[in-house]
Structure 1
Amino acid sequence: MTDDDLNWRMEEACRGAWPAAIETVVDGWLLRRSGGRIRRANSVNPLRGRRGAPDAVIDAAEAFYAGHGQTPLFRVPDIANELEAALVGRGYQLEGGTIHLHAGIDDLAEVRDEHVTVSPMPGEDWFAARFRMGAYDDTDRRVFRAMTGLIADDKAFVSCERDNEIAALAYGVIRDGLLVVESVETDARFRLQGLGRRTVGGLIDWAWRAGASAACLQVVADNTPARALYASLGFSRELYRYHYRRKAIAA
């Protein structure tokens, strides 16, 4: 498998692990919409293969999102960055900066903990903990709940308890033999105890048993603690990066 094949395999797997409520294809680009503030589910994403001229794609996306009362947002990965110059020229502002990491399943650390629970569906306690740990308003909670129900591939929701409550959690999705690690969170009261490592380790163990051949994840570039956590588990190979461009709104 070439690097290009691997990059696009990861791109597709990550989209499948975080599906949008509405997805429309325009000139080789996927326009995703779910409502709320979650960027990945409300942005324009490239598809592999032939893609349309930048200005035409941007015009179509702006019309699409305007029709839904949303600000246009483009996700721009290094492997398909041909819209970048046109977006900058139109005044789109830079947001975020994320790294894709990859590792073979046998290259990852074996971490098992009897306090880690793995379930094929998220329970109410899992959702409650997720929303407690993140800045979710009512709309984001509804969107996130709906999103987890749209995942079509094999999935697992993992949590680690301390003091009779969920202290760390994550979920994972396997597509085409590739585990995508998502939504890793540790309650601030329980950090620096290795719970995030044990939780992700539970996902890796589940994926290994399910026959996954590799694993990947997305991590914010300046999130030093998270990058250290993933490095300790064996996620040492960076594939590519992406950022967002959002339409500037006049005051």
Structure 2
Amino acid sequence: MTSPDEPHDVSSGVSSGAPATGAHGLGPHVVGTRVVVRRLVPGETGPTGGPAFTDVLGVAETWWPDLVVRREDGTAVTVPHALIVSGKPVPPRASRLQHVPGGEVQRRVRGLWPGETAALGDWLLQVSPPHEGRVRRRASSVLAYGSPDRPLGEALAAIQDWYAARDRRPELCVAVGSAEETALRAEGWTEPADFAGHAVAVQVGSVARLRRALGASPHTAATGTVATEHGPVAGAAPDVERVRVSVTASGDRIATGLADLRGDWACVHDVRTDAAYRRTGLARRIVAGLLDEVAERGVTTVVLHVLTTNDPALALYAGLGFEEHHTATYLGPPR
């Protein structure tokens, strides 16, 4: 059965019982977003003889019991609520990756998966074998960015024939708000029943910038030992490599994550933490380890997919410095 991508099992530092304080309007809702905060500096006097203030700019990682802001250089600043003078969310800093077309970002990821592909103009048809017992939408759907090489009705008929010959139901991946989405919905294509209410945030990051923000990653975690494995991906192109970083405790794997890489791009996926060990920083440690491994292999850009309904994962990746490139959804034929 096909299932939504990506149900990362992570959690953030949000505490729903922690209200915003003062008139600044900051609160749990800013976790995972970029903020600027003006704070009092206790015991110091400002240039005019009054209280001293300082500004902190970075991504809010937790709100309760204190606001923690991680600067771009990787340092974390703890700001007690009582010292906050003012603050507000600010737009993320633009990066070169935002100028890369969505179709190119998605094709970089598609090139990592094993299976069969076929081109239909700009569109890419793909089927991949099940991964851990489930068919992944992002590896077994049509990447519909750009234009097919024929009228839309003919293209959709060819797609349905191609997937029927492989005993699969066709689904098309489109950018939300795109001309392709509008045209397909006009033809009656809608989200499959098991994807209704979902969308996928396609997130990107510069490996160098992410690693600077994360700082050095030790070979041990507070609750276990970190190990890495790497090797080829069965059925994929010969130059595709897979890296796994895992944390074990008492002989059991309690957290894990994968990164598939080719050339200077990689895709992070399947970051998971055992339920008993969530909220202990293991997901952050796994991603840091994956970034270290892919950097050693020459990767400069990393991509990941997260369901827009997965608030803990979105907060984690925003706190690490990932940027949302665009949002995608999947559409299936009229029922």
Any residues of structure 2 matched to 1:169-184 within 5 Å, and which?
A: 169-184=256-271
Q: 1:240 aligns with which of 309, 316, 326?
A: 326
The alpha carbon displacement at 1:107 in A equals 1.7
Distance in 1 (CA, whole Å) between partners of 2:236 and 2:179 is 30
Q: 2:161 aligns with which of 50, 63, 68?
A: 63
Distance in 2 (CA, whole Å) between partners of 1:218 and 1:191 is 20
The alpha carbon displacement at 1:82 in A equals 3.5
1:38 aligns with 2:148: no
Q: 1:155 aligns with which of 242, 254, 271?
A: 242
Distance in 2 (CA, whole Å) between partners of 1:227 and 1:14 is 19
What percent of counterpart residues are identical? 26
The aligned residue for residue 273 of structure 2 is 186
Q: 2:184 aligns with which of 87, 90, 93?
A: 87
Q: How many residues align?
A: 222
Distance in 1 (CA, whole Å) between partners of 2:98 and 2:231 is 33
Tell me the TM-score normalized by structure 2.
0.59
1:26 aligns with 2:120: yes
1:75 aligns with 2:189: no
Tell me the TM-score normalized by structure 1.
0.77
The aligned residue for residue 14 of structure 1 is 109
Q: Which has the higher helix share?
A: 1
SS for the counterpart of 1:68 is coil
- Matched to 2:100, the amino acid is D
Work out whether residues 33 and 43 of structure 1, in 8 Å CA contact, stay in contact via their aligned partners in 2: yes
Distance in 1 (CA, whole Å) between partners of 2:234 and 2:258 is 10
Q: Which has the higher strand share?
A: 2
Distance 1:156 1:40, change over 3 A: same
RMSD of the alignment, in Å? 2.6
- Matched to 2:109, the amino acid is C
SS for the counterpart of 1:244 is strand
Distance in 2 (CA, whole Å) between partners of 1:26 and 1:9 is 16
Per chain length, whose mean CA-contact separation is higher, i.e. which structure has more relative contact order (CA < 8 Å, sep 6+)?
1
Distance 1:213 1:189, change over 3 A: same
Distance in 1 (CA, whole Å) between partners of 2:141 and 2:236 is 17
Work out whether residues 145 and 174 of structure 2, in 8 Å CA contact, stay in contact via their aligned partners in 1: no
